[in-house]
Amino acid sequence: MGGFKGGGAMNWMEMSLQQFQDALASKNPTPGGGTAAAVALGQACALTRMVARLTLANDKWQTGWNAAEEAELVIESVYQRAGDLAQLDSDAFDGVMDAFRMPKTSDEEIQLRRESIRSNTLFAAEVPYETVLLGMKLLSCQVALAKNGNANAVSDIGVASLLASAAVKGALFNVEINLQSLPADMGVEMREKCTQLRSECSEVSRSIMHAVHERLSS
């Protein structure tokens, strides 16, 4: 198996799948869970797009054409950004680590270091939070596609939904772990919405799974 050798800045989206998995398995802290969540979101987009295209390609599934077209519009805004977020998540973590390495030999340096740590940590929470919001956007459009899309691809929309749900819930973990180390007045909106978003994700995901199971058993 080809190993990840490390060294130098790496763009995860330009790697082969094997290279990325090797990097994820390495002892290096990046890429980590936040990057993996964003990659899962990208895979969910790709699989959803496949189902949408299979639906639009066959007159038999005209009842699902509106759902497929709506899914395509959502995917257009999410797919590329998911790849960006995969890289940004790693970059954000590196920014936090760089801030911790700043000198602290004077009161001024200590203050600058503290401010840098906090601003970089806030950014490290904001990146996966965007993954969460985009994942919810994708999940929402999957509901109608699961109900009315090409029945031959219903298992695929089921997998796409599970990937999107994993992306949302996994990214939420990364939001929360970064917010934990920040003062309560930072990231207020994210703090207030994390629990609600997790609940909404579960609810939408259950709706999709119900539709998938119904069509598989019919």
Would 4 be classed as within a structural domain? Answer: no
Range(s) of the domain holding residue 65: 32-217
In this predicted structure, the answer to whether residue 168 has a pLDDT above a threshold of 70 is yes
CA distances from 77 to 45, 82, 201 (A): 10, 9, 19
Give the model's confidence band at 10: pLDDT under 50 very low, under 70 low, under 90 confident, else very high.
low
Residue 9's pLDDT is what? 53
Would 172 be classed as within a structural domain? Answer: yes
In this predicted structure, the answer to whether residue 54 has a pLDDT above a threshold of 80 is yes
- Residue with tokens 């299979």, as numbered in its chain: 54
Give the model's confidence band at 7: pLDDT under 50 very low, under 70 low, under 90 confident, else very high.
very low
Give the model's confidence band at 145: pLDDT under 50 very low, under 70 low, under 90 confident, else very high.
very high
Would 22 be classed as within a structural domain? Answer: no
Q: What's the CATH number where 87 sits?
A: 1.20.120.680
Structure tokens at 108: 């001024």
pLDDT tens column, 23-43? 999 999 999 999 999 999 999
What average pLDDT does this structure show over 155-166? Answer: 98
Would 19 be classed as within a structural domain? Answer: no
Residue 125's pLDDT is what? 98
Number of domains in the chain: 1
What average pLDDT does this structure show over 49-65? Answer: 98
pTM: 0.92
Give the model's confidence band at 218: pLDDT under 50 very low, under 70 low, under 90 confident, else very high.
confident
Distance of CA 18 to the CA centre of its chain: 20
- Taking the CA of residue 181 as centre, how many other CA atoms within 13 Å lie in the half-sphere pointing to its CB? 17
What average pLDDT does this structure show over 127-149? Answer: 98
Would 103 be classed as within a structural domain? Answer: yes
Would 25 be classed as within a structural domain? Answer: no
In this predicted structure, the answer to whether residue 60 has a pLDDT above a threshold of 70 is yes
Residue 156's pLDDT is what? 98
> In angstroms, rounded to a whole number, what is the distance separating the alpha carbons of residues 174 and 217?
37
Would 126 be classed as within a structural domain? Answer: yes
In this predicted structure, the answer to whether residue 6 has a pLDDT above a threshold of 70 is no
- Smallest CA-to-CA distance from 57 within 190, 122, 152 is with 152
Would 15 be classed as within a structural domain? Answer: no
